[in-house]
Amino acid sequence: MSKKVKKRLTVLGIILAAAALLVLLANVLPGSGDSRTVAGEESEFVDATYQSYLSEHGFDGTFAQGECVFDLKNYTGTENLTAEIVGESLKIGETGDVTVPVSVAETGFYNIEITYLNIEGTTATPERGMLIDGEQPFDGLSQISFYRQWKNSADGTIVNKRGSEVRPSAVEVFSQQTFYLADSQRRTLTPYAIYFEAGEHTITFTESKEPLQIDSIALKKAPEYMTYEEYLTEGISEYDGENIVCQAERAEGGTVDIIKTSPTIGTTSDYSSMYTVPTHTYKVMLNTIGGTTWVNPGDAIEWTVNVPSEGYYQLAFRARQNTNRGVMSFRRLRINGEVPFKEAEEIGFSFSGGFQNYVLSLGDEPMLLHLNEGENTISLEIVLGDFAYALSTIEDSVIVLNDMYRRILQITGTVPDRYIDYELDTKIEDFEETMTEQYEKLMSVVDNVVAITGEKGERTVTIEKAALQLKRFAEEPDRVKLEISDFKSNVSSLGTWMLNIAEMPLEVDSFTLSAPKAVLKSAEPNMLLGAWNEFKRFMATFLTNTSQIASNTDSTDDAIMVWIASGRDQAQIIQNLIDDSYIPNSGKSVKFQLTPAGVLLPATLAGTGPDVSLAMAQASIVDFAVRNAVTDLTVFDDFEEQAAKFKTSAIEAVTYNGGIYGLPETQSFSMLFYRKDILDSLGLEVPQTWDEVREMISVLHTNQYDFYIPTTGLFSTLVIQNGGDMYSGEGSDYGIQSGLSSEEAMVAFKELTEFFTAYKLPVSADFSNRFRVGEIPIGIADYTTFNQLEIFAPEIKGLWSFAPLPGVKDAETGEINNTAVSGSVHTAILSKSQKQDDSWEFVKWWLDEETQVNYANTLEAVMGSGARYATANPEVLRRLPWSTSQARLLLEQFDKTKGIPDVPGYYMTSRMVDFSFKNVVTEGQNAREALYLNIKDINDELTKKRKEFHLNYIEEEGVGNE
């Protein structure tokens, strides 16, 4: 044996010996993650508008006796209402307002009990606003949520494929539910007390989103919760058996079933602890539930458990809250559908870097819970708990400070002159009082947060910074002009603070039902066991390929190869759909791979590319088509049937030389976003034409506001609206020359540049942020901006909306052309594929309405509403979680979209238009002259590329053909 081999064996022996010693010590030393208690305490916070309503009607805690039932059969509604009586229930659609009457026998305060059944719709939670006798008495009635119920897959199981578990699709469960009307944001937990005088009254559910079946509505007093001390007097014996460990994410151990209120509450994988069950060194195990997917107030998880005998049980959750430092995540506990006692209304789970055993406790004593023999349900619902006051106060302050910021801008502009005394304290009547009042409010929130968390830190520094600035402004108003940008930044930071504080994450691995003060297994392994686990995971990286979406060992030689360049989450969802739907129904095999975007073209040219490529940009489709690398889909007999599912604009975008080379997956277009509150304060209407936009800009500028236009990004839309086209030529000659020399294009370019020269609109701006603070209350952006604003601008929720684009009005007919040029992403079949028919069948399955709806809903469930799918299929869009009014506006603009093919040499058009724009806006060149001088370069490049690909072209002496 050589010395080198002996040396290697010696090193290997040392490693094995060290590993053995590590395991030995690991099993001897104690674990970490000792049990923590979770104190229950009821919040006293009441929303200001609701408190005013109670005070106005003299509420002293006394309720009327008896019960009054609404007459659902005698409903009335607006003209666009879709509703019907089904048995004793009222079934209402997405459109219109519905009003139901009630006869009240006794004057007084009542709670409102609603029993409902969700019916099939999208994945969104059905919502309605409520009016009492035609009026909304307080803000809390503007949004009522009727939560759906979901399971992870039809039978609740998590599927293991090729050794790794895959995230199951959420399946809706339809069952009748009853609740008492209360704050949907879970800031106030007590049901609303509504005042009714004796006589005839009505309530109205206003249009929002999703269909709904109302089974009954009654005025009655909600039951009061007993105290924990009273709860223990039931005379039930304490459970004294073995610990019952219930898995939180799957029906194993003592867990029989799991129901959740949102499909976005997902199962997750934890590799950090070997005590998380089930566990594996490198394979994917979906072993926890919740985390950052379980954060929104009102969302709940309900576990059905089986216990051997009736008795009082101790309940401990193995969980962690490691994403929101300085914040406790609050939950409301229900046992068998009811809150067992008052102290269970708000249970706080403190921040922890690792898993902990959270024993539900009051002080040092565990809370005992009465469970019946057999099946019981245990539910945790997100509530804001002690943070309700802080969040609501900051929310009110942000509204006031945003208004103050806009009033200041109307005097100083966005860039104040430091040498001018703007006299803000005299020109803004309540300037000093407002600044002082808001300073005191913000400091009260700091005290509140410190009282909850026990420390000052990152959750208080943002508030203190803003508060101290307000104090300086109150004492020295002239400082505002020096700190106006910081003021805006601080207000935006408070908005972000609201977003963060309202999120209540909690990741649960399991929970244990046990005898009181039973010994629980350590939540975390000791240091050496943890080190051993990390060592095994490290060694596994040399032996496994963790970047592969799925193993192909079970694929046959005739399997089609499908590639996608996207995120891993998207790819995994598609793989699951292929495994669960396409392969079983078609009997065909698929090799699905996640690849970098730049690999496709060289692989195709080298003959090693896929059969089908997903998520190809329309420009890439044309690049491939001119090289004969993708298949003309019109060769398939049923192509017209498939293409009819989409808008012509999406098909136009991938038409080249008489062929159509892709079918669209996604399609996006611009919408007009606007702040309703600011436009109303200025007496402005949403503009429908560009002439109205110009009139509006003058009013906006007078009040120190702006209008946002995405510079050259709007140019092609203006060309189309004016009756022009970006290129000349027809059929296979489309793109033979630029169309920008036409009068329509020249007019469009002049109109565009005048917005930035004559009307001084900002050439560059962060539209989302400036829209959020109100500096730019109206502007044009891709409609997917909606998702960003909905998530990251909670302080302006309900204050903004979108509308179709302004357009060009025909002087003769009066019709408005508000066409929007759209962009699209497509699926294509590679021309070198030897499996053309099988590939076409896969494309049809992938772009089928049901497949796309499943993909879109799963994508949003996994990644949140910010990942809402920009589908190219109008029927799929109707089934996504848009509200009725939002979907109506989107489809209105969708019908007026135009696709512009990216012809050979297309890139020179955007480049030269950008040069022309800069020549006009920054150098003052004449618009027509600037555009005209750059058209020659466009035509030269178009001719060059058409020669290269043997297409007709135009030379000075006429038409040529190579």
User: 509: helix, coil or strand?
Assistant: strand
**Does position 33 have pLDDT exceeding 60, yes or no?**
no
- pLDDT, position 961: 53
Q: Which residues contact 92 (CB under 8 A, 6 or more apart)?
A: 81, 82, 83, 98, 205, 211, 212, 213, 214
pLDDT confidence of residue 152:
85
pLDDT in tens, 467-510: 999 999 999 999 999 999 899 889 988 988 888 888 899 999 99
β-pairing verdict for 506-514 and 311-320: antiparallel
Q: What is the pLDDT of residue 129?
A: 92
Confidence (pTM):
0.82
Whether 31 shows a pLDDT value over 70: the answer reads no
Cα–Cα distances (Å) from 575 to 581, 858, 880, 912, in that order, read: 10, 12, 21, 42
Q: What is the pLDDT of residues 334-366, one digit of tens each?
A: 999 999 999 999 999 988 888 999 999 988 889
Residue type, 253: G
- Per-residue pLDDT of 129-168, as tens digits, reads 999 999 999 989 998 999 999 998 777 777 776 677 777 7
Instruction: Choose the weakest-confidence range: 481-495, 750-764, 915-929.
Output: 481-495
pLDDT at residue 177 greater than cutoff 60? yes
47-55, long-range: CB within 8 Å, 24+ apart, which pairs? 47/138, 47/139, 47/140, 47/183, 47/187, 47/188, 47/392, 48/392, 48/396, 49/138, 49/139, 49/140, 50/138, 50/139, 50/140, 50/183, 50/188, 50/192, 52/138, 53/137, 53/138, 53/195, 54/193
pLDDT tens for 565-584 read: 888 888 888 988 898 789 88
557 has a pLDDT exceeding 60: yes
CA dist 373 and 157 (Å) reads 25
List, for residues 689-729, the tens digit of each pLDDT value.
999 999 999 999 988 899 999 998 999 999 999 999 999 99
Residue 526: pLDDT band by 50, 70, 90 thresholds?
low
pLDDT of residue 900: 94
Q: Which two tokens stand for residue 522?
A: 């350590």
Give per-residue pLDDT as tens, 582-620. 988 888 899 999 888 788 888 887 888 899 999 999 999
The two tokens of residue 908 are 């020179």
Q: How long is the chain?
A: 962
pLDDT at site 3: 53
- Average pLDDT of 843-860? 91
pLDDT confidence tier of residue 1, bands split at 50, 70 and 90: low
Asked if 589 contacts 583 with a C-beta cutoff of 8 angstroms, the reply is: yes
873 and 649 Cβ atoms separated by less than 8 Å: no
Whole-number percent of the chain with pLDDT over 70: 91
Q: Please, which pLDDT band fits residue 24 given cuts at 50, 70 and 90?
A: very low
Whether the CB-CB separation of 857 and 263 falls below 8 Å is answered with yes
**pLDDT tens across 240-286, in order?**
999 999 999 999 999 999 999 998 888 888 888 888 888 877 777 88
User: Which residues 6+ apart lie within 8 Å of 325 measured at CB?
Assistant: 351, 457, 458, 459
Q: Is the pLDDT of residue 666 over 70?
A: yes
The whole-number pLDDT of residue 538 equals: 65
Give the C-alpha separation, 391 to 311, whole Å: 39
Helices (H), 626-776: 639-643, 648-652, 676-681, 690-702, 715-721, 743-757, 767-773
CA distance 205 to 218: 15
Residue 545 has pLDDT above 90, yes or no: no
Among the residue ranges 28-42, 124-138, 919-933, the one predicted with the least confidence is 28-42
Decide the pairing of beta strands 820-821 and 897-898: parallel
Tell me, what's the pLDDT at 532?
A: 66
**What percent of the chain is modeled with pLDDT above 90?**
60
Query: pLDDT at residue 20 above 60?
Result: no
Distance CA 157, CA 285 (A): 13
854 three-state secondary structure: helix
How far CA 63 is from CA of 102, 106, 146, 542, 875, in Å, comes to 17, 10, 25, 69, 48
Among residues 508, 513, 506, 228, which one has the least CA distance to residue 382?
Answer: 506
Mean predicted lDDT score pLDDT of the chain: 88
Phi and psi (nearest 5°) for 543? -115, -15
Query: Is the pLDDT assigned to residue 750 strictly greater than 90?
Result: yes
- Whether the predicted pLDDT of 525 surpasses 80: no
What is the structure's pLDDT at 547?
Answer: 47
Strand partners, 199: 104
Half-sphere exposure of 410 (CA within 13 A, CB side): 16
pLDDT at 55 over 90: yes
Token digits of residue 604: 């195709």
